[in-house]
Amino acid sequence: MFRRSALLLRPLRTCFSSIRSSNFSSLTPTINELFTKIQTGKLQDGQEVTVHAWVRSVRKQKRIAFAQVLDGSSERLLQLVFLDVGIAADLAPGMSVKVNGVLQATKHPTEPWEVRAESVAVVGSVPAEEPYPIQKKFMTQEHLRRDLPAIRFRTNAVATNMRLRSKTTSAVSRFFEDNGFFQVHPPIVTSSDCEGAGEVFTVVSEASSMPFFGSKAYLTVSTQLHLEALVMGLARVWTLTPAFRAEKSMTSRHLSEFWMLEAEIGFADSLDQIMSIVEQLIRSIATELKEKGELDKIVTLKRAQEKQKETTGEGEDASEVVTADRVLARWDSLIGKEAEWIRLSYKDAIGILKEAEASGIATFDVPVDENEGLASEHEKWLAGTHVKGPVFVTQYPKSLKPFYMLPSPLPSSTVECFDLLVPDMGELVGGSLREHDIDRLRSVIQESGIDLDSIEWYLQLRKWGSVPHGGFGLGFERLICYLGGVYNIREAIAFPRWVERCAC
Ligand code: 4AD
Ligand code: MG
């Protein structure tokens, strides 16, 4: 019996290993991998290469032709040179191609390598009667979003944001992994409105008028309540999950579907602990991205856009541009200084705003009122003008915040919470300690008018071995906008959804 199964296993193992290696080796290296190989000396002048890419532009002369191609693996364009013009005869922008050629060193300072193309196979052509719509000429992001929602990833501006999302996710994973957190996967469909702000989308079945799940179900506005359950078994957890809010907000920082990075920390009993984790997380993301050259890429792209605007007048409206200098200032305020980010109580923040208003240093459209919370313009002024960098505003009045937040010690009427505000944007992160006492939690739930039965599971967590805990939620697209100098949040997500817009 043993011998038979051993015999059976052997060919299987061989088969798996050959599948694995042949799959990888059969893929053509990306342009980014080619440049890495050149840098590390694995590929040299005169060696044969194969490239899969899209044609960005073609320039044909009598005896020579050039094409610039890109494959999305980085922002870099690769120049192809055709000494036989005939090979390039059918090439047009937008086509996908497979090119065989020879790597050649150039004397060009910024593009030191090109490929002398020896053969080109068109993988995907473009119709002659309908040329590729993305040409070198500038197109506004709004136009791309509206008319070419699926094609816009071939523009450098949008692809850069998508690559930044990916790199940022890796940095986030590394931070949490290094600090003892587990990544968890809470549900998207939920039976409770976590924030209690009435901004939920209801989930219904097209096929039936009865509630599919037996009771009302919503798309999650935040996975926090489920993270609180998970943290009671795993001690430190995090997730990056879609969140949905039916806010009729059309601003450059609101989406109806966005991604929220959330973490929950068990046995945390002070707000300072949570704020320190947020600060370390963002610092570590920015530091890693900078070390890996991502900041340089963003700045180079911005400078190129600035130059284009200067020389041709083409570009986004100035009011919708975050300049390269501004991006550098943002990163400097995040990681340029050792000092801890400023922490300010809500009471003090209101005092500072009122004083600024009274002395004429600042004028606001929305008057400062401690009972109303901070308006976006107040947040931006506090971070952008007053602090000139990130600032935590802590301990808001209980009446302004959701039911689950831990009250500050009496006689205070505030809760143990914070918002992290950053220049130009305002709120980037919201977090708090959570009420962990079952009786107090039950009474605030009753006061808030939430159905106790529907949230019994959440109360249960406080019944057996409850622990002090807290956590936070960070708007992932807002972080991408802040780091990437992206003005409009709709550019920071692949398929943006907002009120009256769910394009494809
Ligand atoms: O401040 P919020 O509402 O906090 C919560 O939902 C908590 N339950 C999170 C937690 O403690 N686990 O949302 C967190 C962050 C905000 O600071 C903001 O950056 C982002 O989510 N956000 C949005 N981003 C884009 N579009 C929207 N409509 C957003 N609403 C919130
Ligand atoms: Mg908030």
Any idea which residue has 């051993």 for tokens?
6
Specify the pLDDT at position 138: 84
Across 485-495, average pLDDT: 97
CATH 3.30.930.10 fits 156-491, yes or no: yes
Specify the pLDDT at position 109: 87
Position 24 confidence tier, pLDDT thresholds 50, 70, 90: low
- Of ligand 1's listed atoms, the one at least distance from the Cα of 427 is 17
Q: Is 471 in the pocket of ligand 1 (CB under 6 A)?
A: yes
Among 35, 31, 14, 90, which Cα is nearest to 58's?
Answer: 90
Specify the pLDDT at position 502: 92
Specify the pLDDT at position 18: 44
**Which letter, b or e, does each residue of 160-193 get, where b requires 16 or more Cβ atoms within 10 Å of its Cβ?**
bbbbbbebbeebbeebbeeeebeebebeeebbbb
At position 142, the amino acid (one-letter code) is E
pLDDT of 370 strictly over 50:
yes
Expressed in angstroms and rounded, the spacing between residue 348 Cα and the centre of ligand 2 is: 19
Expressed in angstroms and rounded, the spacing between residue 195 Cα and the centre of ligand 1 is: 9
Position 273 confidence tier, pLDDT thresholds 50, 70, 90: very high
Expressed in angstroms and rounded, the spacing between residue 402 Cα and the centre of ligand 1 is: 12
Position 135 confidence tier, pLDDT thresholds 50, 70, 90: confident
Position 276 confidence tier, pLDDT thresholds 50, 70, 90: very high
Expressed in angstroms and rounded, the spacing between residue 141 Cα and the centre of ligand 1 is: 25
Whose atoms come closest to the Cα of 231: which ligand? 1
Expressed in angstroms and rounded, the spacing between residue 429 Cα and the centre of ligand 2 is: 7
Say how far apart CA 182 and CA 96 lie, in whole Å.
41
β-strand partners of 60: 65
Among 416, 396, 412, which Cα is nearest to 404's?
Answer: 416
Q: Whose CA is nearest to atom 26 of ligand 1?
A: 254
Expressed in angstroms and rounded, the spacing between residue 254 Cα and the centre of ligand 1 is: 10
Across 14-26, average pLDDT: 52
Say how far apart CA 53 and CA 34 lie, in whole Å.
13
Instruction: Answer for the pair 504, 150: CB distance below 8 angstroms, yes or no.
Output: yes
- Of ligand 1's listed atoms, the one at least distance from the Cα of 224 is 12
Across 481-485, average pLDDT: 98
**Which letter, b or e, does each residue of 321-357 get, where b requires 16 or more Cβ atoms within 10 Å of its Cβ?**
bbebeebbbbbebbbeeeeebbbbbbbebbebbeebb
Q: Which of 394-398, 408-412, 452-456 has the highest mean pLDDT?
A: 394-398
Across 471-493, average pLDDT: 97
Position 406 confidence tier, pLDDT thresholds 50, 70, 90: very high
Q: Whose CA is nearest to atom 7 of ligand 1?
A: 473
pLDDT of 193 strictly over 90:
no
Q: Is 239 in the pocket of ligand 1 (CB under 6 A)?
A: no
Across 352-377, average pLDDT: 97
Across 4-24, average pLDDT: 45
Whose atoms come closest to the Cα of 428: which ligand? 1
Any idea which residue has 């939620």 for tokens?
473
Tens digits of per-residue pLDDT, 165-179?
999 999 999 999 999
CA 83-88-90 angle, to 5 degrees, is 160
For the chain, percent of residues with pLDDT exceeding 90: 85
List the chain domain ranges.
Answer: 31-132, 156-491
Specify the pLDDT at position 9: 41
Specify the pLDDT at position 137: 78
Q: Is 224 in the pocket of ligand 1 (CB under 6 A)?
A: yes
Across 213-228, average pLDDT: 95
Instruction: Answer for the pair 399, 386: CB distance below 8 angstroms, yes or no.
Output: no
- Of ligand 1's listed atoms, the one at least distance from the Cα of 263 is 12
- Of ligand 1's listed atoms, the one at least distance from the Cα of 478 is 19
Tens digits of per-residue pLDDT, 320-339?
999 999 999 999 999 999 99
Expressed in angstroms and rounded, the spacing between residue 36 Cα and the centre of ligand 1 is: 38
Tens digits of per-residue pLDDT, 419-464?
999 999 999 999 999 999 999 999 999 998 888 888 999 999 999 9
Q: Is 430 in the pocket of ligand 1 (CB under 6 A)?
A: yes
Q: Give the mean pLDDT of the chain.
A: 93
Q: Whose CA is nearest to atom 18 of ligand 1?
A: 475
Q: Whose CA is nearest to atom 25 of ligand 1?
A: 254
What is the CATH architecture assignment of 31-132?
Beta Barrel (2.40)
Whose atoms come closest to the Cα of 197: which ligand? 1
Q: Please tell me the pTM assigned to this model.
A: 0.94
pLDDT of 7 strictly over 70:
no
Specify the pLDDT at position 15: 43
Q: Is 222 in the pocket of ligand 1 (CB under 6 A)?
A: yes
Q: Is 330 in the pocket of ligand 1 (CB under 6 A)?
A: no
For 326-482, strand residue ranges (E) read 342-345, 391-394, 417-422, 426-433, 469-475
Pocket test for ligand 1, best of 222, 249, 255, 264 (most atoms within 8 A of CB): 222
Helices and strands of the chain, counted as H and E runs: 13, 17
Helix (H) or strand (E) holding 96: strand 96-105
Q: Which of 25-29, 174-178, 198-202 has the highest mean pLDDT?
A: 174-178
Specify the pLDDT at position 173: 98
pLDDT of 21 strictly over 60:
no
- Of ligand 1's listed atoms, the one at least distance from the Cα of 227 is 12
Expressed in angstroms and rounded, the spacing between residue 494 Cα and the centre of ligand 2 is: 23
pLDDT of 353 strictly over 70:
yes
Position 23 confidence tier, pLDDT thresholds 50, 70, 90: low
Q: Is 472 in the pocket of ligand 1 (CB under 6 A)?
A: yes
Specify the pLDDT at position 250: 86
Specify the pLDDT at position 453: 87
Expressed in angstroms and rounded, the spacing between residue 426 Cα and the centre of ligand 1 is: 12
Q: Whose CA is nearest to atom 29 of ligand 1?
A: 254
Tens digits of per-residue pLDDT, 77-91?
999 999 999 999 999
Count of CB atoms within 10 A of residue 44's CB? 10
Count of CB atoms within 10 A of residue 489's CB? 21
